[in-house]
Copies of this chain bind each other. A is one copy, B any other.
């Protein structure tokens, strides 16, 4: 059993503190070391089979982000956040991705590729089954989104999860398509503006008795 690194109160306090930031302070940047840690947290995100069917594109350049604004329903978080993370799925997932992953496991763990044949077949069997791999990969990305927002909040960084954008335009403008990725959700990160009135609105969550049910 590992020790807790936060108190129960601190965890809840940070979850209460966070909110979908509407106005970022465009002048306030996430320090470089802290940002590296947030990237490290993204890399450590769990995924089904551990396959990591994703890539996280980071954009800080303002003119590039201004180009995305019109494809983001004009939501300025895209530009005014310190960092914009475009969370993307790997397209056309298939046996080659599994082979690449299995080879990497063998390398990291110092075991023969052959010893992982069962696991490899399990993943490939799953992929050949009745599954929409695009939808499945997208769900995995949402694990990353959930983990990232909490990681940021724990470190005092604001975020805003954003589904309101046009993935096809993002893919084109950012050149994701030739890379084999497609944007599925955005998460600008930075620091809330003092003028963001949403920061102090009472958080709206249904009562626990409506959301958690013991069977």
Chain A residues close to B by CB (< 8 Å): 1-6, 8, 10-18, 20, 28, 33-34, 37, 39-46, 48, 50, 52, 54-61, 64, 86, 101, 104-105, 108-109, 135, 138-140, 142-151, 154-156, 161, 163, 174-175, 179, 191, 201-206, 208, 210-215
**Can you give 23 A-B contacts (C-beta < 8 A)?**
A1-B28, A2-B17, A4-B154, A5-B156, A6-B154, A8-B37, A12-B44, A40-B208, A43-B205, A43-B206, A50-B205, A57-B215, A58-B213, A59-B215, A105-B204, A109-B202, A109-B204, A138-B139, A139-B139, A142-B146, A143-B145, A144-B146, A174-B215
Tell me, in angstroms, the Cα distance from A144 to B215 when the chains sit together.
Answer: 19
The chain B residue with its CB closest to the CB of A160 is B46
A58-B213, A104-B204 known, 10 other contacts, Cβ within 8 Å: A1-B191, A5-B6, A39-B212, A43-B208, A46-B161, A52-B211, A57-B212, A101-B204, A108-B204, A175-B215
Contact B42 A211 (CB under 8 A): yes
Q: Which residues from B are CB-within-8-Å of A45?
A: 146
Q: Which residues from B are CB-within-8-Å of A145?
A: 142-143, 146
Copy number in the complex reads: 2
| Shortest beta-carbon distance from A147 to chain B in Å | 4
Q: Which residues from B are CB-within-8-Å of A54?
A: 211
